[in-house]
Amino acid sequence: MKKIAILNGPNLDRLGKREPEIYGRATLADLEKKLRAEFKGEAELLFFQSNHEGELIDKIGELADAKVAALVLNAGALTHTSVALRDALLGAHLPAVEVHISNIYKREAFRHTSLTAPACVAVITGLGLEGYFAAVRFLLQS
């Protein structure tokens, strides 16, 4: 069974409370529960969320050393600003799928550029929480 890590960055701990018109009403705990149910028996899912860039970078290194199969990353706003996070992804040599709940191309112009996308095998944007499910399905098939 593949181990797939799902990492969430800044403010994603506020899902269900923060801008529900953009991100919906489901919480991060709701998402984790649904993902575990959907992929039970197919994948071992590991979850991590941090509002701190360095903690995400440290976790990516730990996951690489632990030989997880792949990761799903919603880096939140760090997507658009963090060269260090991009370097951590490249250095981990893990297939990663970048996920965004909202369609970043329908939002502010500064969100249209992802520094982390070139370090990922795919990017899913604008599918809501379904993007996480699509990412795990994709990683299970690859």
Region of residue 122 (phi > 0: left; psi between -120 and 50: alpha; otherwise: beta): beta
Annotated catalytic residue: which of 23, 80, 93, 112? Answer: 23
DSSP state of 119: G
Q: Which structure tokens are listed for 16? A: 């269900």
Is 23 catalytic? The answer is: yes
- In Å, the largest CA–CA distance within the chain is 41
Q: At 47, which helix (H) or strand (E)? A: strand 43-49
Active site residue 100: yes
Among residues 80, 100, 112, 132, the one annotated as catalytic is 100
- The number of C-alpha atoms within 13 Å of 81 and in the hemisphere containing its C-beta is 9
Which positions are annotated as active-site residues?
A: 23, 100
